[in-house]
Structures are given as structure tokens and as C-alpha cells.
Amino acid sequence: MYKLMTAGPTQVSESVRKALSTHRGNPDIDIEFLEYYKNLCLKFSKFFNTDNEFYILGGEGILGLESACASLTEKGDRVLVIDNGVFGKGFKDFVELYGGEAVLYTVDDRNPVDIDKLNEYLKKDSNFKYATVVHCDTPSGILNDVSAISKLLSSYNIMSVVDSVSSSFGVPLSMGEIDILCLGSQKALSAPTGLTIIGVSDRAKKSMENRKTKIASFYANILAFKDYYENRWFPYTMPIYDIYALGQAMDNVINDENVFERHSKMANITRETVKAMGLKLYTESGYSDTVTVFEVPECTTCDDIVSIMKDKHNILISGSFDYLLGKVLRIGHMGENANEKDVYETLLALYETLLEVGFDISKSKEEIFYFM
Ligand SMILES: *Cc1c(COP(=O)(O)O)cnc(C)c1O
């Protein structure tokens, strides 16, 4: 098996794997599970410094994004889709699927969304039910200041849906004015794939309850979870094994006092080393501490680097997709991946790989890896 250094799924710790494989009860009838679920949701509220309720949904990160749009959008609703990356633009599809009018606010993808410019835009047009924005747009690694953006939107009475699937637990965030916060299990939380966690504000819940038309989905209907505790009923059988594993992963994060410091340190080392080797980072500012994205050098291809890293060094990093396909490479230093041993090994392997494909590195190995 190779070392997993992608931007999700990430490495899963022994403690989480153990929690996953422990025999569990029946989530439909076990009160113990109901209490466990509720408690775990409260841990998310506390972690994001909010009283807003969280729900764990049985489905990958995408389910959270779709649920937010399905539950808020009514036919003809205008939705501002803030786009400076692949996932940013991707929200357009969900909005339109549920009958909304997606208005794209497309800006430079190499820098974070400029709050002042967004404000200028909203001064002219702020007739939106809600807006969508991505915290870390993983394919490019850009990090947007979603706290400031959601605050600004809120001042115009616009609700905000924030995709923080690949940044939360590696980068600090409070829920603040965010109306629906979307998280995932398999990125910096380092739990197995398959779960979405969403935080929902009272304002968003009210908006869903006051709809004129029904939510056009069962599985992606957030309101279906609203009174699960009182009714002792979930809309579908909860993936109990995955949820206990998620709980262990969450405890690991909570008990790790240096979680953000660790991410920041590993991110800085990765960025500095990649630059010292003569490679170019994709974004110009606003780097997420969860992933480093750099351009594929001209002398080689993305596939060649990924293959050599995997076949010769036993380390899996990844390319990207959509308009970045073949253009950039990504090292995911989030969650369990964010430790010195694995990050250093990955960087050393990248160095050897670059030499193998004939990339001209001007600095000496000692200069580049001075910190080791
Ligand atoms: C991974 C990810 C998602 C969820 O994608 P899945 O394929 O469902 O795991 C959503 N948004 C961002 C920014 C992501 O990185």
C-alpha cells in the first residue's frame, strides 16, 4: 500500500479504523445511538463556536452542497454564485437543478475574493435569496475569507452557503454569520469517506419552513432532520459504523491542541520547499494550509510525476481536474497527512522525481532541505 498524500481522502488513524470496525447496534431503534449522534452534533456546534444545530448526513461531501441548494431554492429564486474556482462555479448546477436563477460572480482564481469589490457589486445588485462560496477551492488551493464574506452578505440580508469541506479542521473557522456550513468526513477530519456534516442557522431553517413549494428532494431535504431527536426518527437508516468512526476522528481533532499550528507549519514547509525547488505555486495569495498546489513544469507531465511518485516512491499525490486538469499537481497536507515524517518524505520524493524527469533545480539538496 502507498502513502496517501492527496487532498482527500486522507490517511485514517488506527483509532478511527478501530472505531469503524467495532460491532454496533441498530441505529433505527437504539436510543444509545440517538444520544451519540446528538452529542457528536453538539461537538460540531462547539467546535465552530455557534449555537446553530449540526446534522450528519449519510453521503459524501457533495450531498451537503446539494442539500443546501435543494432545501433553500425555490423556482425563480435569484442566487449569487461566488466563483473563483471549480467548486465555486459548480454551485451553479445545484442552484439550477432546483429551479433557481444562478447569477455568477466570477473573479480571478489566483487570489481570494476581494471583499471591497464584492461590496461594490452588491451595492448595485443585492436582490439574492442566498449566495454560495467556497472556503478552500481544493483544485486550485485558494482560500477565501468566508467569515468576512458571509458577514458582508448578511448585511445585505443575503443568506450564505459555505463549502468548507477541504479546509475546516485544518484552518480555523467560526460559523458566525454563515447560514449553511458544509463539511466532509474524508478531508482534514481524516475519517472514512461517506459522510457530510452541515451546520444550519435558524434563519436558514425558517426560510425552508416558509417555502411556498415543497423541497424537491427527499434525501437532500435538510428539514427532514429538523426534529429527529424529539421524534426519535431519522429519514433513513444512519450509517452507524461510519458515524462512530467520525466521532473518534472528531475527538482526535478536539484533543489535538496544536491542530491548526501543525497544519500551518506543514503547509509553510511544503510551500517554501516547492518554491525552493524552482516550482511555481498556482495561487498568488490566499493559500490554504490544507493543500499545496503548484504548476506542472514544462519539461514533464502531470501523469509522469504522479506515476513516478507512486511507482518508485510509494507516495500518492494527485493532479487536478476541470480547467486545471494536467496543469497543476497537489499535495494534501491535511488531517493525518499533516505530520513531519510524511510531509518530509513526500517532498524528498518529489525532489528525486523532478531530477528524474530532467527538471533543472538550481539549489543544492542541502539548501532546499535545510530544515531536516
Ligand atoms: C472534496 C470536496 C467536496 C466534496 O466532494 P466529494 O467528492 O463528495 O468528496 C466539496 N467541496 C470541496 C471544496 C471539496 O474539496
Give the residue ranges of the chain where pLDDT is below 50.
none
Q: Is 232 annotated as a binding residue?
A: no
Q: Which atom of ligand 1 is nearest to the CA of 166?
A: 15
Q: Ligand 1: does its nearest atom lie under 6 Å from the Cβ of 134?
A: yes
- Residue span(s) of the chain under CATH 3.90.1150.10 come to 258-368
- DSSP per residue over 162-218, as a string? EE-TTTBTTB----TT-SEEEEESSSTT-PPSSEEEEEE-HHHHHHHHT-SS--S-S
Q: Which atom of ligand 1 is nearest to the CA of 62?
A: 8
- If you measure from the C-alpha of residue 62 to the centroid of ligand 1, how many angstroms do you get, rounded to a whole number? 6
State pLDDT tens for residues 4-54.
Answer: 999 999 999 999 999 999 988 999 999 999 999 999 999 999 999 999 999
Whether 278 and 361 have beta carbons less than 8 Å apart is answered as yes
One-letter amino acid at 75 equals: K
Phi, psi of 54 (to 5 degrees): -115, 150
Question: Quick one: CATH architecture of 258-368?
Answer: Alpha-Beta Complex (3.90)
Q: Ligand 1: does its nearest atom lie under 6 Å from the Cβ of 141?
A: no
Q: Ligand 1: does its nearest atom lie under 6 Å from the Cβ of 163?
A: yes
Q: Work out whether strand 130-134 and strand 101-106 pair parallel, antiparallel, or are unpaired.
A: unpaired
Phi, psi of 249 (to 5 degrees): -65, -40
Q: Ligand 1: does its nearest atom lie under 6 Å from the Cβ of 87?
A: yes
pLDDT of residue 178: 98
Q: Ligand 1: does its nearest atom lie under 6 Å from the Cβ of 168?
A: no
pLDDT of residue 64: 98
Q: What is the dihedral of CA 14, 20, 22, 24, to 10 degrees?
A: 160
pLDDT of residue 361: 97
- Residue span(s) of the chain under CATH 3.40.640.10 come to 14-255
Phi, psi of 57 (to 5 degrees): -110, 145
CATH topology of domain 14-255: Aspartate Aminotransferase; domain 2 (3.40.640)
- If you measure from the C-alpha of residue 149 to the centroid of ligand 1, how many angstroms do you get, rounded to a whole number? 20
- If you measure from the C-alpha of residue 361 to the centroid of ligand 1, how many angstroms do you get, rounded to a whole number? 34
pLDDT of residue 334: 98
Q: Which residues of 187-225 are buried (b: 16+ CB within 10 A; e: fewer)?
A: bbbbbbebbbbbbbbebbbebbeeeeeebebeebbbebb
Q: What is the pTM of this model?
A: 0.98
> What stretch of H or E contains 294?
strand 291-295
Q: Ligand 1: does its nearest atom lie under 6 Å from the Cβ of 184?
A: yes
- If you measure from the C-alpha of residue 61 to the centroid of ligand 1, how many angstroms do you get, rounded to a whole number? 5
pLDDT of residue 258: 97
Whether 305 and 325 have beta carbons less than 8 Å apart is answered as no
State pLDDT tens for residues 170-205.
Answer: 999 999 999 999 999 999 999 999 999 999 999 999
* Alpha helices for the chain (secondary structure H): 14-21, 31-47, 61-72, 86-97, 115-124, 146-155, 202-209, 228-231, 240-254, 259-276, 302-313, 340-356, 365-368
pLDDT of residue 23: 87
Provide the grid cell at 239.
450509517
- If you measure from the C-alpha of residue 90 to the centroid of ligand 1, how many angstroms do you get, rounded to a whole number? 11
Any idea which residue has 482534514 for its cell? 188
